[in-house]
Amino acid sequence: MQMALSMFAKIAVAVFLSLLAVAATSVPVAAKTPGEVEIGAVLREVEMTGLSGPSRKMSAFRGKPLIINIWASWCEPCRNEMASLDRLARRYGGRQFNVIGISTDDYRDRASAFLLRARTSFGHYIDNDLILENMLGADKIPLTLLVDAQGRVQAKIYGAKEWDSAASKALIAKTLGISL
C-alpha cells in the first residue's frame, strides 16, 4: 500500500511539474478589439465625426506623422494628460506632426463641456458607434497611437503620459523618425 501511494505521489508530482512547465512557457494572448489594426498595419479609411471642428476622413491626415489620443470626459487619467498633449501640439504640432483626439464618450455634450474647460488647440472627434475605438484597439483608455506619414501604426501607448516631457518627446521622435 505504501509503495502504491509512493508511486502515485511521484506520478502526481511529475504531472504537476509538467503542467507548471507548460504554463510557464505559454505566452498569454491579449484579446483584441473587433477589427483592430495591429502595429505595422495601415489605418483603414473611416469618416470621423467632428467634435471641435468639421468631420474628416482618417486619410486627410496622411503625408505627415499623426499622434492620436483616445480619451473620455469621465476618465481622470485622460483628463490629466490632456494639458501635456496640448503643450506638445502647440509647440510642434502642424509642422512635424499632427495631433488629434478621439472621444469615446456616449454623450457629445459631456465631451464638448470637457473640451471647453481644457481649451485644447488640436482637433477632436467623437466615436459614438465604437468604430474608431475598435479599430484603434482602445479597450483601455487613455490610449495614444503614433502613426507614420503613410498611415501605418508604429506604436500604441496605454495609460496617461506627460507628453511634453523629454522622455515622451524622445519616444515620439524615435518612433516617428522626426527630430524634436
* Cβ 102 vs Cβ 144: under 8 Å: no
Could you give the CA distance from residue 56 to residue 50 in angstroms, rounded to a whole number? 7
Query: Does residue 131 surpass a pLDDT of 50?
Result: yes
* Cβ 106 vs Cβ 128: under 8 Å: yes
Share of the chain above pLDDT 70, in %: 83
Cell of 110: 459631456
Could you give the CA distance from residue 139 to residue 67 in angstroms, rounded to a whole number? 18
What pLDDT score does 22 carry? 40
Provide the residue ranges of all domains of the chain, joining segments of one domain with +. Answer: 47-176
Question: Where residue 24 falls among pLDDT bands split at 50, 70, 90?
Answer: very low
Each residue of 36-91: pLDDT tens digit?
999 999 999 999 999 999 999 999 999 999 999 999 999 999 999 999 999 999 99
The CATH-assigned architecture of domain 47-176 is 3-Layer(aba) Sandwich (3.40)
Q: What are phi and psi of 167, to 5 degrees?
A: -65, -45
